[in-house]
Structure 1
Amino acid sequence: MDLPVNLPEKLYLLAYDPRRARTTQHSTLNLLLQAAALTELLRRGLLYEEGRKAVARVRTGAAEAGLDPYSAALLEQVKGARPRSWNAWIGRAKSAGRDQPVRRVRDGLADAGLITLRPHRVAGLFPVTLVTLDDPGAREALAAAVTRALTGPLSRVDPADAALTALVATGRLRSALSAGQRREYRGRIKKLAPAAGPVPRALTTALGRRMAGQAAEHAAMG
């Protein structure tokens, strides 16, 4: 079984619902994947924090080896931009078009042979892309890693699994962690969060702003 090694790819697979054959959390998944990419870059030492802002390292060497395409593209964006806060970078995730994180991460997984994409038309009119897991066991293994991070000895939790679990919990990714589990393991999640650095707190801020914006739009329409 081949498992992805980068956090955005892992998070995408956890957001996939095998029963419905599609990803969930559509309103916030782009933000979650952006946060996962930032965390991956931070974990690899490609980004660091200075004055509560994300800064790219000038010389990275082998740290970029094996980086997923979306995280690599985001790194180039950070390199070419003025320093911004973590939540500002999360909020810059595109929500539509070819450059949105969901599509870019999905396409990278397809190129890696982990999922299959098939064009389809709903009611014969509206084009969509159907996603199939080539190896459902890969998603099951990732879900098991989240469970171990929450229930196993803390000293044995892999830092990448700790970071993944913290992002899943912060993003309220229900396909991987129910609301009841988040409440039950609240204390453990706090202990895992440092593995993702400042990103979980920034993700909370970005999600709050997105939800407030959506609520304002609905109120204006009403």
Structure 2
Amino acid sequence: MKQPESLAQRMFLLALDPDKGRTHSSTYLRPLIRSAVLTELYLSGHLRDDAGKPAVEVAGPCADPVLAGVLQEIGEGRPRRWQHWVGRQGRQTTDAVRDQLIDGGLLRAEPRRVLGLFPSTYYTLRDPRVRSRLTATVSAVLRDPVGRVDPADAALVSLSVLGQLHKVVPRAKRKEHKQKIKALTEVTGPAAPALKKTIDTYHAAAAG
């Protein structure tokens, strides 16, 4: 069974609703995917936190072209806070991760028309067990002591919660494991709270 190769690919599959053939709202999905890329770069040691801003610690090698592209963005840009990088180039990064999943044989894209008029795309998992395995990992992380959880798996939970993936971590589970999720978010790194701030900004704008 093929597995997604990056944290961003794993988050994309968790954000997919297999019954509807589409992903979570693009408004939240894009910063979610960006935060997953930044988190993986941080956990792998390519990025460090420098007074609340990501800075390049190791410029390479970075085999994944999406990760390499974001690392280059940060290296060539002026120092900005994590939230800036979470919100930047969201569509391009998300599309690139989706294409990786399609090219890698994990996802199938089927062109369709809504009401026979409006073009749309229906996404199908080639092997539904891949997503089931990811959701099982999320459940295991919520059961296991934080000290025994791999940071990349901790990120699956914290980013799912902060990215509003309610079907992955339902409200009841979030309430039950509130303190544990807080600890997992600390393990995940600085891109996770930056994701929360980004989505809180969206909520504030919508309410206004």
- Whether TM exceeds 0.5 here: the answer is yes
Which residue pairs with 2:45 in the alignment? 45
Which residue pairs with 1:26 in the alignment? 26
Superposed displacement of residue 104, structure 1: 2.0
Aligned length: 208
Superposed displacement of residue 180, structure 1: 1.2
Q: Is the 8 A contact 1:148 1:157 kept in 2?
A: no
User: Structure 2 vs 1, CA of residues 70 and 178 (structure 1 numbering), >3 Å: closer, same or farther?
Assistant: same
Question: 2: distance between equivalents of 1:59 and 1:78?
Answer: 10
Q: Is the 8 A contact 1:24 1:175 kept in 2?
A: no
Q: Output aligned runs, 1:116-195, within 5 Å.
A: 116-195=108-187
Which residue pairs with 1:219 in the alignment? none
Equivalent AA in structure 1 for residue 72 of structure 2: E
Alignment partner of 1:81 out of 52, 77, 80:
77
> What is the RMSD computed on CA atoms of the aligned residues?
1.6
Provide TM-score, normalisation by structure 2.
0.92
Over residues 176-203 of structure 1, what are the superposed CA-to-partner deviations in whole Å (9 max), with x where a residue is unaligned?
A: 1111111111111112112211122111
Question: 1: distance between equivalents of 2:95 and 2:146?
Answer: 34
Over residues 148-177 of structure 1, what are the superposed CA-to-partner deviations in whole Å (9 max), with x where a residue is unaligned?
A: 000123333222101221111122211211
Superposed displacement of residue 78, structure 1: 1.1
Provide TM-score, normalisation by structure 1.
0.87
Superposed displacement of residue 49, structure 1: 1.0
Percentage of pairs with the same residue = 38
Which residue pairs with 2:205 in the alignment? 213
Question: 2: distance between equivalents of 1:120 and 1:24?
Answer: 18
> Any stretches of 5+ residues in structure 2 without a counterpart?
none
